[in-house]
Structures are given as C-alpha cells and as structure tokens.
Structure 1
C-alpha cells in the first residue's frame, strides 16, 4: 500500500465518549454518520487503504464505516493494526466477539509486537501515522493516546479531519 493513498484513524474509547457504551444514543448515531461521511470524503480524495488500531469505541465505528465503504467500492482495503497479541484479552465477551469479527473482516492484519508492554499502544499509533498521509480523528480535547496521535500526525505532515464527539 502506498502511503499517499492511505488513511489512518484515532479516537476515544467508550470511557471518554459522552454516551459511554450506548451506541443507540443520538449523539453516537450522529458521530457514526459524520465518521462515515469523513471516510467517504477520504475516498473522494484518493484514499484507498485504511488503517485502524482496533481499540474499543471510536476505532470500531471507523472500522465498520470502512467495511461499509468497501461494500460499495471494491478497491478499498482495510488493515487491522494490533498493538499486541493480547489487546482484547480483558475485554467483555461482547467486545471481544465484535473485535475478532472486525479483524477477520479486514484485508490485512499487522501485529506491532507479540507481547504487551506499556509502550505497545504508542508504537501502534506511530505505525498508523507512519503508513498514512491522512488522519481522521474523533477527538474532544482530552489528554491521552488520541491527542498524542494527532500531535504526531501533525509533526509528520499528515492532513487531518477532526470530528468532535
């Protein structure tokens, strides 16, 4: 995949989203619509390969939006970028089932490293940015991995599309 035709994503986990786990909340449904439009917009700008870090919350929404896009445009590919082998080990069964179904639906799977350590999520985030030219983010100003990834993407010269929650 060529970096100039690749788009990555960063966003908040449910704990930092106003609706938490309630994806039927109108604010969540609105965000999913805006995210789908941002993915479609990235496609319109020539993005064909999409990279997702596969975290709970906004990453799942992004992955699902790209999979929907791929249904309409078969030249779309999506890469699941996993920080480590045990990313989903402590999640609920429902979240693990969704995670494994989404990873299985992706065209490619990249594991940044096998074993968990305190920096594997940051390494995953850098991988995402280092393999893309455009970043879509769900971000509301909170400190954390999403802010780090946006800052890193800005330093690397990626174009940005930031969606507020």
Structure 2
C-alpha cells in the first residue's frame, strides 16, 4: 500500500540533452530562459495537483533544469522530495568539470539517490528511463518528436497510460533563434 501511495504522488521527468535543444549549451538564450520558466511552472502545477515526489535522471540539459526547479520550489513547498535516478555511478565521469560540479551539487541536495547499476552497461540509460516511468503517475517531458531516449520514455508512459505533460522546446525557440 505504501508503494501505491508513493506512485500516485510521484511525478517523473524526461527531456533532451543540450545537443537536441534549439539553443545548445546556451542557457542565457531567451528560449532557454522561457523553457526553464515553463518547467518551473509545470512542476509547481504538479505540486498543486498533489504530487510530492519527483524523479529525474540527472542528465545534462533538461534534466538539470528540472532538478533545479524542484529544488527552488522545495523552499516554498517543503513537503516535496527529489529523487535522482542514475543510470550508473560513472554517469557524470566524462563531463566537463563545470557540469560535474553542477551535477554533484544538485545530487547532494537530493532526498533519494537510486542507481540502476553500479557499472555502465549498454542499456543502463534506457533502464533508468523505464524506472522513472514505472515509478511515476505523471511524466513531464521536454519533447518535440525527436528519436532517442526521450521518445522511448514518452512512448512507454503512453503505453502504461501514465499522465503525460509535454513541453515542446521548439515552440519557444521559433522567434528567438
């Protein structure tokens, strides 16, 4: 019964890494700032809908924006928790130093760390995405139809009839590219 209650109040997240966003590696771009604001507002709407536990894969890009939004909102809503669902221990090993520092700072402020595997294996990121869907009742996705892990995760959520909120990042870049 405890697990069911947790899932009913859990909101997962999936989204693009910087290379698939319309403003790669430019967080000062107006479209990125709008996307971050929309992620924040979408998380806050989930909180108002009763979601108290949030799961994120902690990849670069959209996942980072989501984790940051949850942590900012936790100052206003102390009942919410953030879970880092990590593919493997070496997830950030090959990232630039500034990205690793940001990753470990966010990770240190999480309430729960879940490792799909201690060591990397070819499907560990897909298994991480499966974990997020299987432990959520709502999924927020930064998605505009591109092939890849985000599409896989969105399709899995649809197949499992999980409530889905899609944020199309291309819609926010059209007038400011």
- Shorter-chain TM range is over 0.9
Shift of 1:157: 1.4
Gaps of 5+ in 1: none
Q: Give the aligned partner of residue 74 of structure 1.
A: 78
CA distance in 1, matches of 2:71, 2:162: 23
Deviations 1:30-84 (A, max 9, x none): 0011111100111111100000000000000000000011110110000011000
Q: Give the aligned partner of residue 20 of structure 1.
A: 24
The equivalences for 1:59-138 within 5 A come to 59-138=63-142
Q: Give the aligned partner of residue 10 of structure 1.
A: 14
CA distance in 2, matches of 1:40, 1:3: 18
CA distance in 2, matches of 1:19, 1:25: 7
Aligned-residue RMSD, C-alpha? 0.7
User: Which has more radius of gyration?
Assistant: 2
Q: Which secondary structure does the structure 2 equivalent of 1:116 belong to?
A: coil
Deviations 1:85-124 (A, max 9, x none): 1000110001100001011111110111111011000000
Q: Give the aligned partner of residue 50 of structure 1.
A: 54
CA distance in 2, matches of 1:140, 1:100: 29
Q: Which secondary structure does the structure 2 equivalent of 1:50 belong to?
A: strand
